[in-house]
Amino acid sequence: MDAAVRRNSVPAERAAPFYTFVGAVITVAVVVSAASISRLPEQLPDLPTAFWLMAALAVLCDYRPFAPPGPRQSSAVFPSICFTFAILLAWGLGPAILVQAAAVVSSSIRLRHATWRAVFNVAQYALALGAAEAVLRGFGEAAFAQGTGPTWIDVVAASVAAAAWFVVKYGTVTIAVRLHAGGNWWRTFRHGLAFESVSIGALLLLAPILVGGPASQSVALIPLMLVPLFAVYRMSRLSAEQEHLARLDPLTGLANRKALLAEVHEQATLHCARAAAGAPDQHFALLLLDLDRFKHVNDALGHAVGDRLLIDVSDRLVRAVGPADVVARLGGDEFAILTPRLTDADGARALADRIVVALAEPVSLDGLPLDVAGSIGIALFPEHGDDFATLMRHADVAMYDAKHRRDTVVVYTPESDHNTPERLSLLGDLRRALDPDLVSPAAGEITMYYQPQIEIQTGAVVGVEALLRWRHAKRGMVDPEELIKVAEQSAVMRLLTRRVVDDVVEQLAKWQAAGVHLRAAVNVSIRDLHTLEIVDQIKERLARFEVAPEQLQLEITEGALMADPRRVLATISELAKLGVAIALDDFGTGYSSMQHLRRLPLTEVKVDRSFVLGMATDADDHAIVRTVIDLAGALGLRVVAEGVEDERTWRLLRGVGCHVAQGWFYARPMPAEELVDWLGRYRPLNPS
């Protein structure tokens, strides 16, 4: 186990304690080994050929040691350990320290270690050998030194001495790494413990076999020990390579989620240690990148081309970041970048901007240029979280916020996070209210309210809009906007839509049986329109309850269209073929409205209430409403104005030719049973 550090330089805030420890280890090692070293001039002339052969093999083998990659470059397989422990058993502490020192010098030359580091390594080995010597003396073990057949107690003594050697050596390395790099004591201790206890343990326990077998029988047998030593070397190397590969993405060679988690944990520990030491405030950032339209590449060109695109993107990311940054692929088209030692969010934004520039140039695959772009979310330590899970979740929130806002880079803000503890609790209650297997009185009751839609020219009730209501057992009526915000970011949204469609279609059948024929409009979310599942569900429910498709209308927003126009268009086209009417809700508040009116199979547009509410007092709002009605009329579309709350607005809408209106001027949303009573009492307004 080489005393290990990532670099020979030591951070200023830890330099004093680190070098104090190094000096203490060297001093104690000199004291422990002084007496044994002083007797070496008398011992060396009498040492046998077996000793000199072992010493030569120890020095030669350590010239090319194997140390697995990683922050703790431990001496996992230094063959000299086997030979010097065998020398300790047979000829004592002095010769063992001498040979081990020569082997350390050999490996230090090869690895280009600083002089102080080589001296520190010699001192560690001297302490470990001294501890093993003390154990052997305590047991009174002498069989290996005398060349007699070892007994069970001798084997036990050698094993306990090997354990003492390992504890002292591993312990000094752990303390040195902790003082040098900071971090958590327990994490530093257990890092590599399993690997090193097996590999070093094998080297130490081969020593009694070496000195009790080949060394005592024939010097010519000693070189044969290189075979099991090579086996230990191969075992250690394969183990280290497997551990290394387990932290890599197999396609791109970048770090994977497991490696990123470990790096974030280490950076968090280091920053906390620096803060505790009074260092200036420092931050690190986690950037989450999700490629846009990657699924389209896979669908159109195949996964092989998609894989090549990901490899090219990973190469660009590596070139765009700094040498201390960590780039990881989390799966699919999602990447993460960890950048340490920032002063504020501007540094993270600067890195994100470099990444955007790096991805701006199209990727050429087989002569076909493919545009690459993505959305980047940023979370900062410690402002946005102090652990991997929290930082990842907040970076994910920021990334989806960037997609929603059609921005490229967004830094996390609590205002955009719909997953606060309170909302997560509410989401759990909503799931229990919707799932028949989880239903609980504490979750409350999901019901549907219906608001009438009135034909302005005739005053006839032509339809209703179905509006979701949730009466929570503890919170009372949950605000509908809050309910949708809670649900739409999770799979619960599909459960909610399924429940709404089921309830509304069943209610249409009940009204039909009672002689009430109405069209019901149902709002659907972005998630509902990304698959054809909703088409199959509606088709099945209409057939089961014998409801005509024309009695059901789905309302979609322009925001849903912009999220994924291709998939949304495919879904609503299938619904239109089924005979279900499609309405464009909140018209005028989204993007590319003219294009949508021309391309989509619409039957109706709904003028947003923000324009309707102001049209009686604001000339601009009045002009917007009139323009929308004229445009829709030219395209053969029905126009519904929502938010009609007074007679003046109703008369203005009638004057500009609006077809249908809904709002509190006519009626508030109400439960289904109240609607039937309301219909019995309703009298159309006199248009004069």
pLDDT value, residue 528: 79
Measured distance CA(471)–CA(447) in Å, rounded: 8
Measured distance CA(211)–CA(207) in Å, rounded: 6
Are 529 and 570 contacting, i.e. CB atoms less than 8 angstroms apart? no
Tell me the three state secondary structure of residue 616.
coil
Q: Which residues of the chain have pLDDT under 50?
A: 1-12, 68-76, 591-592
pLDDT value, residue 1: 40
Q: What is the tens place of the pLDDT at every residue in 457-489?
A: 999 999 999 999 988 888 888 888 777 777 776
Quote the pTM value.
0.48
pLDDT value, residue 259: 83
- Total Cβ atoms within 10 A of residue 271: 21
Measured distance CA(233)–CA(244) in Å, rounded: 16
Q: Tokens 């063992």 — which residue?
A: 96
Taken as a whole, the chain contains a residue count of 688
Tell me the three state secondary structure of residue 182.
coil
Are 505 and 473 contacting, i.e. CB atoms less than 8 angstroms apart? no
pLDDT value, residue 561: 63
Residue at 5: amino acid letter: V
β strands within 572-659, DSSP E: 581-587, 604-607, 638-642
Question: Which of 388, 407, 380 is CA-nearest to residue 290?
Answer: 407
Phi, psi of 382, rounded to the nearest 5 degrees: -100, 5
116-152 as b/e: b if 16+ CB within 10 A: ebbbbbbbbbbbbbbbbbebbeeeebebbeeeeebee
For 77, 214, 459, 596, the CA distances from 201, given in Å and listed in that order, are 10, 20, 91, 72
Are 338 and 264 contacting, i.e. CB atoms less than 8 angstroms apart? yes
Are 167 and 131 contacting, i.e. CB atoms less than 8 angstroms apart? yes
pLDDT value, residue 662: 95
Which DSSP category does 4 fall into? -
Helices within 277-367 (DSSP H only): 294-301, 303-320, 345-360
What are the residues facing 326 on neighbouring strands? 338
Are 466 and 453 contacting, i.e. CB atoms less than 8 angstroms apart? no
**Element housing 568 (H / E):** helix 565-578
Q: Tokens 């609607």 — which residue?
A: 675
For 428, 429, 436, 492, the CA distances from 472, given in Å and listed in that order, are 12, 8, 16, 16
What are the residues facing 639 on neighbouring strands? 605
Q: What is the tens place of the pLDDT at every residue in 560-589?
A: 666 566 777 888 889 999 999 999 887 765
Parallel, antiparallel or unpaired: strands 476-477 and 461-472: antiparallel
